[in-house]
Amino acid sequence: MTDNTNAKMLAMQKEHGPLLEVKDLAIDFTTDTGKPVHAVRDANFTVYPGQWVAIVGESGSGKSTSAMAVLGLLPGTGHVVNGSIKLDGEEIAGAKQSGNPWLPEVRALTGGVDELVELSRVADQRILPWEMQENVPMLTPDLACRTGVTVYIIGPEGGFSARELDALRAAGFAAVSLGARILRCETAATLCLGIHWWASQLPGRNAEHAES
């Protein structure tokens, strides 16, 4: 990054303020007997526009759980019990049903990829983040934020079968790369949502929400 580019980035961050701000975040899960399990305690981090932040820790330290809380996708009995999660200044902690357009819409699909393909027909753009790097374009703001509704297909862990991939391609899903080091589904979802939001803030963009 050149000095000029770095100066512009710092000026934008100062003018805009934090994109994502997590303060004193605490997350619990509840056992079958009703006993709370403390998964995350006092997590704090801030992400500014154009900034990459890495959360590092040993297995089980709460990295993925914190990311899923930000996305509003805490599984099972997981819930935020304390702290704040602000996206572009708006409080979203525990806001699975808030209607915030920058939180993904969550559905349980029992029909597999076939049902997913059918539901995606209403979308204007269909994007499939791809683990392979050759002959696949990177996900850029131009691809991520076009007019209308964009659907991103993330996961599952272990990948799709050959039949499922053929069905997604036939339905018009465009394969893109998120880079060689994006390995976890929650990381991919966070990155897609972040790029889509960032692109929507560029001059002349009026895209609607993204679903993943």
Query: What is the distance between the alpha carbons of residues 176 and 167, in angstroms, rounded to a whole number?
Result: 16
What's the average model confidence in pLDDT over 131-147?
75
Question: Which of 20-34, 74-88, 119-133 shows the highest mean pLDDT?
Answer: 20-34
Of the given ranges (85-89, 104-108, 134-138, 198-202), which has the lowest mean pLDDT? 104-108
pLDDT above 70: residue 103: no
What's the average model confidence in pLDDT over 166-189?
78
The set of residues, in sequence order, having a beta carbon less than 8 Å from that of 141 and lying 6+ positions away, is 195, 198, 199, 202
> For the segment 25-54, what is each residue's pLDDT rounded down to a tens digit?
999 998 888 888 999 999 999 988 878 888
Two tokens at 117?
A: 């393909």
Query: What is the distance between the alpha carbons of residues 147 and 51, in angstroms, rounded to a whole number?
Result: 25
